[in-house]
Structure 1
């Protein structure tokens, strides 16, 4: 059944109302958060998503992080965007068991790696993070269904993925995504920037559940059917 909703102004919502508007609808709940331009690029001309962010997107980004129990992010995205250590646990998804440089000094237990048994950096990751923080979830390919279940077993019900496009595509192919939170920045950049989802072809139906606007920026929730 389709849901009815209307465009709302982001500035009309208090922080509590915004949090309620984005409340998870199940447990576990894996949502993916992305920003793109109107012409579909997930990055600006500098190759970074931060260059197409704005105040509206930042407000929703911060709120989603405040709700989340953990972050799930590809190692390449963490390196490219030079992530700082977040306030909640971050799961680095890497077939090489790569711990990005900006996370190497994180407090013990704040950073986990989801990887495979054949990963080149498996021993180094275990030494750096601890054996219990290195999740071996497959021989050559990461089992993303098992990853979602493992995070739930740790009490992390609200799971937030912040990219990148390849990981999003893999999550869609694995059938584990519950929701896309998508910001459309009011600009055109042309070029050859990446789409928000990459990798293998998928055909996943979604339905809109919320649409907000501020200064031309559109922010929405799209639920996976």
Structure 2
């Protein structure tokens, strides 16, 4: 994220990153049981299969309008998280169903394997996860850039929330701050 709160530059988060940030992401993914990402982020960021063998990426979508020829899906790494009443895409892909009209995130998360779900955005999914009270930790990288752009923030569209987090770790690398927040008990 930029100093002024943007999570993307020119539609990509990688332009706000550095090698240490990528190392943090790799470490978090290595510890994760599942990665969850919004469909818009998958389309924009061109996700590839995770390097950790067996780690899968759940894509939250109402429509299933995705490129099923991308490596994320052709390798079997990607699966869908969809409402029960959404039409399934004509693709050989696993689907978790929860909710009607919209994904019931609490019910969907309960169906995922393991305990550590790595949420990787985008901002609309982040907002929904905050609203559903499903975010226990936030691992935030602050890039030493100001974008000045009207671009997505960490949590676009969330209702007014009051969740308390406390700082668990802060690291700095060449002007980049890596902050881990944990929910207060």
Output the TM-score relative to the length of structure 2.
0.90
Task: Give matches, 1:126-205, under 5 Å.
Answer: 127-129=91-93, 133-151=94-112, 154=113, 156-201=114-159, 202-205=161-164
Give the match for residue 104 of structure 1: 73
- Any idea what the Cα deviations from partners look like across 1:87-141, whole Å, max 9, x if unmatched? 411101001133434233123xx32211012324x152xx411xxx211101112
Higher helix share: 1
Count the aligned residue pairs: 178
* CA RMSD across the alignment: 1.4
Native 8 Å contact 1:40 1:195 kept in 2 = yes
Native 8 Å contact 1:78 1:100 kept in 2 = no
- For residues 220 and 104 of structure 1, the distance between their equivalents in structure 2, rounded to whole angstroms, comes to 32
Q: Secondary structure at the match of 1:128?
A: coil
Q: Secondary structure at the match of 1:113?
A: strand
- For residues 198 and 123 of structure 1, the distance between their equivalents in structure 2, rounded to whole angstroms, comes to 27
For structure 2, list consecutive stretches of 5 or more residues without a partner in the other structure: none
Output the TM-score relative to the length of structure 1.
0.75
- For residues 4 and 158 of structure 2, the distance between their equivalents in structure 1, rounded to whole angstroms, comes to 21
Deviates more, 1:178-187 or 1:95-104: 95-104
Give the match for residue 62 of structure 1: 26
Task: Give matches, 1:2-151, under 5 Å.
Answer: 36-44=1-9, 46-87=10-51, 88-101=55-68, 102=70, 103-107=72-76, 110-120=77-87, 122-124=88-90, 127-129=91-93, 133-151=94-112
**1:148 CA displacement:** 1.6
Native 8 Å contact 2:97 2:108 kept in 1 = no
The structure with the largest alpha-carbon Rg is 1
Native 8 Å contact 2:130 2:158 kept in 1 = no
Q: Secondary structure at the match of 2:27?
A: helix
Give the match for residue 6 of structure 1: none
Native 8 Å contact 1:75 1:100 kept in 2 = no
